[in-house]
Structure 1
Amino acid sequence: MNPRHDVTGLILAGGQGRRMGGRDKGLEPFAGRSLVAHVRERLQGRLASVWINANRHHEIYRSEADRVIGDLEGDYQGPLMGIYTGLRSVQTPWLLVVPCDTPALPMDLVERMVAGIGEGDIAVAHDGERLHPVVALLRVSLADDLEAALAGGERKIDRWYARHDWYRVDFSDCPDSFANLNTEDDKQRLELRLNQEAPTG
Protein backbone atom coordinates (compact mmCIF):
# COMPACT_ATOMS: atom_id res chain seq x y z
CA MET A 1 0.00 0.00 0.00
CA ASN A 2 1.34 3.40 -1.02
CA PRO A 3 -0.53 5.93 1.13
CA ARG A 4 0.04 8.77 -1.34
CA HIS A 5 -1.96 6.84 -3.94
CA ASP A 6 -4.08 4.34 -2.04
CA VAL A 7 -5.30 6.16 1.08
CA THR A 8 -7.67 9.12 1.53
CA GLY A 9 -7.62 10.89 4.89
CA LEU A 10 -10.91 11.87 6.49
CA ILE A 11 -11.06 14.25 9.45
CA LEU A 12 -14.27 13.64 11.39
CA ALA A 13 -15.78 17.02 12.28
CA GLY A 14 -19.45 16.22 12.00
CA GLY A 15 -20.47 16.21 15.66
CA GLN A 16 -22.68 18.61 17.57
CA GLY A 17 -19.95 19.71 20.02
CA ARG A 18 -22.34 19.38 22.95
CA ARG A 19 -19.59 19.52 25.57
CA MET A 20 -18.24 22.65 23.87
CA GLY A 21 -21.57 24.40 24.27
CA GLY A 22 -22.72 23.34 20.80
CA ARG A 23 -19.79 25.04 19.06
CA ASP A 24 -18.20 23.44 16.01
CA LYS A 25 -15.19 21.74 17.60
CA GLY A 26 -13.06 21.55 14.48
CA LEU A 27 -13.10 25.34 14.19
CA GLU A 28 -12.20 26.00 17.83
CA PRO A 29 -8.98 28.05 18.17
CA PHE A 30 -5.99 26.20 19.59
CA ALA A 31 -2.43 27.54 19.77
CA GLY A 32 -3.16 30.18 17.14
CA ARG A 33 -4.98 27.98 14.62
CA SER A 34 -8.17 25.96 14.39
CA LEU A 35 -8.13 22.44 15.79
CA VAL A 36 -8.79 21.00 12.34
CA ALA A 37 -5.75 22.84 10.91
CA HIS A 38 -3.49 21.10 13.45
CA VAL A 39 -4.97 17.72 12.53
CA ARG A 40 -4.69 18.35 8.78
CA GLU A 41 -0.99 19.13 9.24
CA ARG A 42 -0.48 15.53 10.41
CA LEU A 43 -1.95 14.18 7.16
CA GLN A 44 -1.11 16.74 4.46
CA GLY A 45 1.31 15.49 1.81
CA ARG A 46 1.28 11.94 3.20
CA LEU A 47 -1.97 10.76 1.58
CA ALA A 48 -3.72 10.86 -1.79
CA SER A 49 -5.97 13.63 -0.43
CA VAL A 50 -7.39 14.96 2.84
CA TRP A 51 -11.15 15.33 3.25
CA ILE A 52 -13.28 16.64 6.08
CA ASN A 53 -16.60 15.18 7.20
CA ALA A 54 -18.66 18.11 8.51
CA ASN A 55 -22.36 18.81 8.91
CA ARG A 56 -22.12 22.60 9.10
CA HIS A 57 -19.76 25.45 8.10
CA HIS A 58 -18.74 23.70 4.88
CA GLU A 59 -17.60 26.99 3.37
CA ILE A 60 -15.06 27.48 6.18
CA TYR A 61 -13.84 23.88 6.16
CA ARG A 62 -13.17 24.00 2.41
CA SER A 63 -10.02 26.04 3.07
CA GLU A 64 -8.67 23.15 5.16
CA ALA A 65 -9.39 20.18 2.88
CA ASP A 66 -9.42 18.87 -0.67
CA ARG A 67 -13.12 18.09 -0.22
CA VAL A 68 -15.81 18.51 2.45
CA ILE A 69 -18.61 15.95 2.77
CA GLY A 70 -21.65 15.86 5.02
CA ASP A 71 -23.12 12.70 6.54
CA LEU A 72 -25.10 10.64 4.04
CA GLU A 73 -27.89 10.52 6.62
CA GLY A 74 -28.86 13.41 8.91
CA ASP A 75 -29.63 13.82 12.60
CA TYR A 76 -26.00 13.67 13.82
CA GLN A 77 -25.81 9.89 14.06
CA GLY A 78 -22.25 9.81 15.35
CA PRO A 79 -18.77 8.90 14.12
CA LEU A 80 -19.77 5.55 12.65
CA MET A 81 -22.00 7.43 10.19
CA GLY A 82 -19.05 9.71 9.38
CA ILE A 83 -16.88 6.66 8.69
CA TYR A 84 -19.60 5.13 6.52
CA THR A 85 -19.92 8.39 4.58
CA GLY A 86 -16.18 8.31 3.92
CA LEU A 87 -16.18 4.66 2.83
CA ARG A 88 -18.98 5.39 0.37
CA SER A 89 -17.45 8.62 -0.98
CA VAL A 90 -13.71 8.19 -1.54
CA GLN A 91 -12.13 6.76 -4.69
CA THR A 92 -9.11 5.12 -3.03
CA PRO A 93 -9.11 1.52 -1.69
CA TRP A 94 -8.26 2.69 1.84
CA LEU A 95 -9.58 5.34 4.23
CA LEU A 96 -7.73 6.79 7.23
CA VAL A 97 -10.06 8.47 9.72
CA VAL A 98 -9.03 10.79 12.55
CA PRO A 99 -11.06 13.07 14.85
CA CYS A 100 -10.93 16.85 14.53
CA ASP A 101 -10.18 17.39 18.23
CA THR A 102 -6.78 15.65 18.53
CA PRO A 103 -4.31 18.41 17.61
CA ALA A 104 -1.23 16.57 18.92
CA LEU A 105 -1.49 13.41 16.79
CA PRO A 106 1.93 11.92 15.94
CA MET A 107 3.50 13.41 12.84
CA ASP A 108 4.30 9.86 11.64
CA LEU A 109 0.74 8.63 12.21
CA VAL A 110 0.14 7.72 8.55
CA GLU A 111 3.31 5.67 8.18
CA ARG A 112 2.75 3.75 11.40
CA MET A 113 -0.90 2.99 10.69
CA VAL A 114 -0.03 1.68 7.21
CA ALA A 115 2.80 -0.45 8.61
CA GLY A 116 0.57 -1.82 11.37
CA ILE A 117 -2.36 -3.10 9.34
CA GLY A 118 -0.54 -6.06 7.80
CA GLU A 119 -3.05 -8.13 5.83
CA GLY A 120 -5.97 -6.94 7.95
CA ASP A 121 -9.06 -4.93 7.07
CA ILE A 122 -8.86 -2.38 9.89
CA ALA A 123 -6.02 -0.91 11.98
CA VAL A 124 -6.81 1.02 15.17
CA ALA A 125 -4.43 3.21 17.18
CA HIS A 126 -3.65 2.05 20.73
CA ASP A 127 -1.79 4.32 23.17
CA GLY A 128 -0.59 1.53 25.45
CA GLU A 129 -3.60 1.82 27.74
CA ARG A 130 -6.63 2.12 25.50
CA LEU A 131 -7.85 2.01 21.94
CA HIS A 132 -8.72 5.12 19.98
CA PRO A 133 -11.41 3.78 17.64
CA VAL A 134 -11.75 6.99 15.63
CA VAL A 135 -8.07 6.86 14.67
CA ALA A 136 -8.31 4.02 12.18
CA LEU A 137 -7.27 2.78 8.76
CA LEU A 138 -10.05 0.90 6.97
CA ARG A 139 -10.51 -1.06 3.79
CA VAL A 140 -13.10 0.80 1.70
CA SER A 141 -14.71 -2.46 0.58
CA LEU A 142 -16.21 -2.71 4.10
CA ALA A 143 -18.85 -0.11 3.13
CA ASP A 144 -21.61 -2.63 2.37
CA ASP A 145 -21.13 -4.41 5.69
CA LEU A 146 -21.18 -1.13 7.60
CA GLU A 147 -24.32 -0.06 5.74
CA ALA A 148 -26.04 -3.25 6.92
CA ALA A 149 -24.81 -2.71 10.48
CA LEU A 150 -26.11 0.86 10.55
CA ALA A 151 -29.44 -0.25 9.12
CA GLY A 152 -29.63 -2.73 12.00
CA GLY A 153 -29.17 0.06 14.52
CA GLU A 154 -25.46 -0.36 15.28
CA ARG A 155 -23.77 2.84 16.47
CA LYS A 156 -20.84 1.44 18.51
CA ILE A 157 -17.60 1.57 16.54
CA ASP A 158 -15.78 -1.11 18.54
CA ARG A 159 -18.62 -3.61 18.12
CA TRP A 160 -18.54 -3.16 14.37
CA TYR A 161 -14.74 -3.48 14.27
CA ALA A 162 -14.99 -6.76 16.19
CA ARG A 163 -16.83 -8.28 13.20
CA HIS A 164 -13.71 -7.90 11.05
CA ASP A 165 -10.01 -8.72 10.87
CA TRP A 166 -8.61 -5.77 12.82
CA TYR A 167 -5.26 -4.95 14.42
CA ARG A 168 -4.01 -2.66 17.17
CA VAL A 169 -1.22 -0.28 16.18
CA ASP A 170 1.08 0.43 19.09
CA PHE A 171 1.61 4.10 19.95
CA SER A 172 2.58 3.51 23.58
CA ASP A 173 5.68 5.67 23.05
CA CYS A 174 3.48 8.76 22.61
CA PRO A 175 0.25 8.25 24.59
CA ASP A 176 -0.42 11.96 25.08
CA SER A 177 -0.62 12.45 21.32
CA PHE A 178 -4.16 11.11 21.33
CA ALA A 179 -5.61 13.54 23.87
CA ASN A 180 -8.96 14.68 22.54
CA LEU A 181 -10.43 18.01 23.52
CA ASN A 182 -14.04 17.73 24.57
CA THR A 183 -14.25 20.80 26.80
CA GLU A 184 -12.73 24.25 27.14
CA ASP A 185 -10.74 22.96 30.15
CA ASP A 186 -9.30 20.10 28.08
CA LYS A 187 -8.18 22.61 25.47
CA GLN A 188 -6.50 24.91 27.97
CA ARG A 189 -4.70 22.04 29.71
CA LEU A 190 -3.23 20.66 26.48
CA GLU A 191 -2.28 24.12 25.25
CA LEU A 192 -0.41 24.73 28.51
CA ARG A 193 1.35 21.36 28.36
CA LEU A 194 2.47 21.84 24.77
CA ASN A 195 3.76 25.30 25.59
CA GLN A 196 5.78 23.88 28.46
CA GLU A 197 7.23 21.15 26.23
CA ALA A 198 8.12 23.50 23.38
CA PRO A 199 11.86 24.04 22.94
CA THR A 200 13.13 27.46 23.95
CA GLY A 201 15.87 29.55 22.42
Structure 2
Amino acid sequence: MNDASNAVIAAAILAGGDSQRMGEDKAILNDGGASLIERQVKDLRDLSEALPILICSGSRRYEALNTYDVRHVPDSLNSAGPLAGVAKALETAAAAGLEEGYVFVLPTDSLIPPSHIYDRLTGAESATSEVVLLKGERLHPLHGLFSVSLTTSMTDYVESGGRSVMGFLDDRCWAAVTVPGAWEPCLNFNTPDEYERALEAFAKMTSV
Protein backbone atom coordinates (compact mmCIF):
# COMPACT_ATOMS: atom_id res chain seq x y z
CA MET A 1 0.00 0.00 0.00
CA ASN A 2 1.69 3.17 -1.13
CA ASP A 3 2.02 5.79 1.63
CA ALA A 4 -0.37 3.73 3.75
CA SER A 5 1.06 5.11 6.98
CA ASN A 6 -0.20 8.54 5.90
CA ALA A 7 -3.61 7.02 5.14
CA VAL A 8 -4.15 5.48 8.60
CA ILE A 9 -6.55 7.84 10.32
CA ALA A 10 -7.29 5.96 13.56
CA ALA A 11 -6.47 2.82 15.53
CA ALA A 12 -9.07 0.53 17.10
CA ILE A 13 -8.48 -2.13 19.76
CA LEU A 14 -11.15 -4.83 19.93
CA ALA A 15 -11.86 -5.60 23.58
CA GLY A 16 -15.54 -6.44 23.68
CA GLY A 17 -15.41 -10.23 23.89
CA ASP A 18 -16.66 -12.16 26.89
CA SER A 19 -13.35 -14.09 27.31
CA GLN A 20 -15.29 -17.15 28.50
CA ARG A 21 -12.56 -19.68 27.76
CA MET A 22 -9.92 -17.51 29.41
CA GLY A 23 -11.98 -17.16 32.57
CA GLU A 24 -11.21 -13.46 32.91
CA ASP A 25 -11.15 -10.36 30.73
CA LYS A 26 -8.24 -10.82 28.31
CA ALA A 27 -7.68 -7.07 28.08
CA ILE A 28 -6.51 -6.88 31.69
CA LEU A 29 -4.24 -9.94 31.67
CA ASN A 30 -0.98 -8.95 33.29
CA ASP A 31 2.23 -10.92 33.58
CA GLY A 32 3.95 -8.16 35.51
CA GLY A 33 3.60 -4.44 34.93
CA ALA A 34 0.79 -3.07 32.79
CA SER A 35 -2.21 -4.92 31.38
CA LEU A 36 -2.31 -6.11 27.78
CA ILE A 37 -4.57 -3.30 26.65
CA GLU A 38 -2.58 -0.62 28.46
CA ARG A 39 0.63 -1.85 26.82
CA GLN A 40 -1.06 -1.74 23.42
CA VAL A 41 -2.34 1.78 23.96
CA LYS A 42 1.04 3.01 25.22
CA ASP A 43 2.79 1.53 22.18
CA LEU A 44 0.27 3.17 19.84
CA ARG A 45 0.66 6.49 21.63
CA ASP A 46 4.45 6.20 21.29
CA LEU A 47 3.87 5.58 17.58
CA SER A 48 1.82 8.76 17.25
CA GLU A 49 0.61 11.29 19.78
CA ALA A 50 -2.05 12.50 17.34
CA LEU A 51 -3.54 9.19 16.15
CA PRO A 52 -7.09 8.73 17.51
CA ILE A 53 -7.31 5.50 19.53
CA LEU A 54 -10.70 3.81 19.79
CA ILE A 55 -11.37 1.16 22.44
CA CYS A 56 -14.14 -1.09 21.11
CA SER A 57 -15.13 -2.59 24.43
CA GLY A 58 -18.91 -2.80 24.40
CA SER A 59 -20.14 -1.50 27.76
CA ARG A 60 -16.75 -1.87 29.48
CA ARG A 61 -14.59 1.10 30.39
CA TYR A 62 -10.88 0.83 31.25
CA GLU A 63 -10.12 3.72 33.57
CA ALA A 64 -6.36 3.07 33.42
CA LEU A 65 -6.41 4.22 29.79
CA ASN A 66 -7.76 7.71 30.49
CA THR A 67 -4.28 9.18 30.69
CA TYR A 68 -3.62 8.16 27.07
CA ASP A 69 -6.48 10.17 25.51
CA VAL A 70 -8.50 7.27 24.13
CA ARG A 71 -12.18 7.00 23.27
CA HIS A 72 -14.34 4.07 24.36
CA VAL A 73 -16.97 3.16 21.77
CA PRO A 74 -19.79 0.59 21.98
CA ASP A 75 -20.32 -2.11 19.37
CA SER A 76 -22.61 -1.26 16.45
CA LEU A 77 -24.88 -4.09 17.66
CA ASN A 78 -24.81 -5.86 21.03
CA SER A 79 -23.58 -9.47 21.17
CA ALA A 80 -22.77 -9.43 17.46
CA GLY A 81 -19.11 -10.46 17.65
CA PRO A 82 -15.89 -8.60 16.87
CA LEU A 83 -17.02 -7.45 13.42
CA ALA A 84 -19.55 -5.22 15.18
CA GLY A 85 -16.61 -3.57 16.91
CA VAL A 86 -14.83 -3.01 13.60
CA ALA A 87 -18.03 -1.58 12.10
CA LYS A 88 -18.43 0.83 15.00
CA ALA A 89 -14.80 1.93 14.71
CA LEU A 90 -15.30 2.76 11.03
CA GLU A 91 -18.57 4.53 11.81
CA THR A 92 -16.93 6.57 14.57
CA ALA A 93 -14.07 7.62 12.30
CA ALA A 94 -16.46 8.60 9.52
CA ALA A 95 -18.69 10.55 11.92
CA ALA A 96 -15.63 12.51 13.06
CA GLY A 97 -15.09 13.64 9.49
CA LEU A 98 -12.33 11.13 8.78
CA GLU A 99 -14.01 9.88 5.62
CA GLU A 100 -10.93 8.77 3.67
CA GLY A 101 -8.22 6.39 4.78
CA TYR A 102 -7.91 3.30 6.94
CA VAL A 103 -8.56 2.31 10.52
CA PHE A 104 -5.82 0.10 11.96
CA VAL A 105 -7.62 -2.69 13.83
CA LEU A 106 -6.19 -5.24 16.26
CA PRO A 107 -7.57 -7.45 19.05
CA THR A 108 -6.53 -7.00 22.64
CA ASP A 109 -5.26 -10.61 22.88
CA SER A 110 -2.01 -10.00 21.02
CA LEU A 111 1.50 -9.77 22.45
CA ILE A 112 3.16 -8.41 19.31
CA PRO A 113 3.53 -4.63 19.77
CA PRO A 114 0.97 -2.75 17.65
CA SER A 115 3.73 -0.62 16.14
CA HIS A 116 5.36 -3.72 14.63
CA ILE A 117 2.06 -4.92 13.18
CA TYR A 118 1.40 -1.40 11.88
CA ASP A 119 4.77 -1.31 10.11
CA ARG A 120 4.06 -4.63 8.39
CA LEU A 121 0.59 -3.65 7.27
CA THR A 122 1.45 -0.17 6.05
CA GLY A 123 4.50 -1.49 4.20
CA ALA A 124 2.33 -3.67 1.94
CA GLU A 125 2.06 -2.89 -1.74
CA SER A 126 -1.72 -3.08 -1.87
CA ALA A 127 -2.86 0.31 -3.09
CA THR A 128 -6.17 -0.97 -4.48
CA SER A 129 -7.19 -3.05 -1.47
CA GLU A 130 -10.07 -2.07 0.78
CA VAL A 131 -8.65 -4.27 3.54
CA VAL A 132 -5.14 -5.51 4.35
CA LEU A 133 -4.93 -8.42 6.81
CA LEU A 134 -2.12 -10.12 8.70
CA LYS A 135 -1.12 -13.68 7.85
CA GLY A 136 1.09 -15.90 9.98
CA GLU A 137 0.69 -19.65 9.81
CA ARG A 138 -2.97 -18.78 9.28
CA LEU A 139 -4.93 -15.67 8.39
CA HIS A 140 -5.75 -13.23 11.18
CA PRO A 141 -8.81 -11.27 10.03
CA LEU A 142 -8.96 -9.10 13.14
CA HIS A 143 -5.47 -7.69 12.60
CA GLY A 144 -5.68 -5.33 9.66
CA LEU A 145 -6.29 -2.06 7.91
CA PHE A 146 -9.94 -1.42 7.04
CA SER A 147 -10.99 1.36 4.68
CA VAL A 148 -13.50 3.85 6.05
CA SER A 149 -15.29 3.53 2.69
CA LEU A 150 -16.64 0.21 4.02
CA THR A 151 -18.58 1.85 6.86
CA THR A 152 -22.09 1.59 5.45
CA SER A 153 -21.73 -1.82 3.83
CA MET A 154 -20.15 -3.37 6.94
CA THR A 155 -22.79 -1.92 9.25
CA ASP A 156 -25.53 -3.24 6.96
CA TYR A 157 -23.85 -6.67 6.90
CA VAL A 158 -23.69 -6.85 10.70
CA GLU A 159 -27.26 -5.61 11.14
CA SER A 160 -28.49 -8.25 8.68
CA GLY A 161 -26.92 -10.99 10.80
CA GLY A 162 -23.45 -11.23 9.26
CA ARG A 163 -20.69 -12.06 11.73
CA SER A 164 -17.72 -13.33 9.68
CA VAL A 165 -14.99 -10.96 8.54
CA MET A 166 -14.14 -13.27 5.66
CA GLY A 167 -17.82 -13.59 4.77
CA PHE A 168 -18.01 -9.82 4.52
CA LEU A 169 -14.86 -9.73 2.37
CA ASP A 170 -16.03 -12.51 0.07
CA ASP A 171 -16.61 -10.22 -2.93
CA ARG A 172 -14.25 -7.41 -1.98
CA CYS A 173 -10.68 -6.49 -2.79
CA TRP A 174 -8.38 -7.44 0.06
CA ALA A 175 -4.76 -8.44 0.56
CA ALA A 176 -2.70 -10.25 3.20
CA VAL A 177 0.75 -9.49 4.58
CA THR A 178 2.85 -12.45 5.73
CA VAL A 179 4.67 -12.22 9.06
CA PRO A 180 7.18 -14.60 10.70
CA GLY A 181 5.84 -17.94 11.90
CA ALA A 182 7.25 -17.20 15.36
CA TRP A 183 4.58 -14.54 15.74
CA GLU A 184 1.73 -17.06 15.41
CA PRO A 185 1.13 -18.07 19.07
CA CYS A 186 1.41 -14.43 20.11
CA LEU A 187 -1.31 -13.10 17.80
CA ASN A 188 -4.32 -14.74 19.43
CA PHE A 189 -5.00 -16.73 22.60
CA ASN A 190 -8.28 -17.82 24.14
CA THR A 191 -7.36 -20.06 27.10
CA PRO A 192 -4.89 -19.83 30.01
CA ASP A 193 -2.72 -22.52 28.38
CA GLU A 194 -2.63 -20.63 25.08
CA TYR A 195 -1.71 -17.46 26.94
CA GLU A 196 1.17 -19.21 28.71
CA ARG A 197 2.42 -20.56 25.37
CA ALA A 198 2.19 -17.06 23.91
CA LEU A 199 4.25 -15.63 26.77
CA GLU A 200 6.87 -18.35 26.33
CA ALA A 201 7.04 -17.81 22.57
CA PHE A 202 7.30 -14.05 22.95
CA ALA A 203 10.07 -14.39 25.53
CA LYS A 204 12.10 -16.45 23.06
CA MET A 205 11.99 -13.79 20.38
CA THR A 206 15.10 -11.69 20.06
CA SER A 207 13.30 -9.40 17.64
CA VAL A 208 9.72 -9.02 16.42
Could you say which TM-score interval applies, normalised by the shorter chain? Answer: 0.7 to 0.9
Q: CA separation in 1, counterparts of 2:69 and 2:112? A: 18
CA distance 1:122–1:5, change in 2 (3 Å):
closer
Asked whether the equivalents of residues 87 and 142 of structure 1 are also in contact (C-alpha less than 8 Å), the reply is yes
Q: CA separation in 1, counterparts of 2:113 and 2:65? A: 21
Q: What's 2:53 paired with?
A: 50
Q: What's 1:134 paired with?
A: 142
Q: What's 2:162 paired with?
A: 154
Larger CA deviation: 53-62 vs 110-119: 53-62
RMSD: 2.5
Q: What's 2:25 paired with?
A: 24
Report sequence identity in percent.
23
After the TM superposition, list the runs of 4 or more consecutive aligned residues in structure 1 that deviate by more than 6 angstroms.
none
User: Structure 2 counterpart of 1:182, which letter?
Assistant: N
- CA displacement at 1:37 relative to structure 2: 2.2
Match of 2:134 among 106, 120, 125: 125
Match of 2:5 among 3, 27, 43: 3
Question: Which stretches in structure 2 are left out of the alignment for 5+ residues?
Answer: none
If the length of structure 2 is used for normalisation, what is the TM-score?
0.82
Larger CA deviation: 9-18 vs 96-105: 96-105
- CA displacement at 1:62 relative to structure 2: 3.5
Q: What's 1:179 paired with?
A: 187
CA distance 1:192–1:173, change in 2 (3 Å):
closer
Match of 1:191 among 199, 202, 205: 199
The superposition leaves residues 131-172 of structure 1 with CA deviations (integer Å, 9 ceiling, x where unpaired) of 100001011010111122123211111111222110011213
- CA displacement at 1:50 relative to structure 2: 1.9
Asked whether the equivalents of residues 51 and 65 of structure 1 are also in contact (C-alpha less than 8 Å), the reply is no
Asked whether the equivalents of residues 14 and 53 of structure 1 are also in contact (C-alpha less than 8 Å), the reply is yes
- CA displacement at 1:107 relative to structure 2: 4.0
Q: CA separation in 2, counterparts of 1:110 and 1:42? A: 11
In the comparison of the two structures, how many residue pairs are matched? 196
Q: What's 2:119 paired with?
A: 111
Asked whether the equivalents of residues 104 and 177 of structure 1 are also in contact (C-alpha less than 8 Å), the reply is no
If the length of structure 1 is used for normalisation, what is the TM-score?
0.84
The superposition leaves residues 71-118 of structure 1 with CA deviations (integer Å, 9 ceiling, x where unpaired) of 1322x2111100000010014331011000002246422122122132
User: Structure 1 counterpart of 2:92, which letter?
Assistant: S
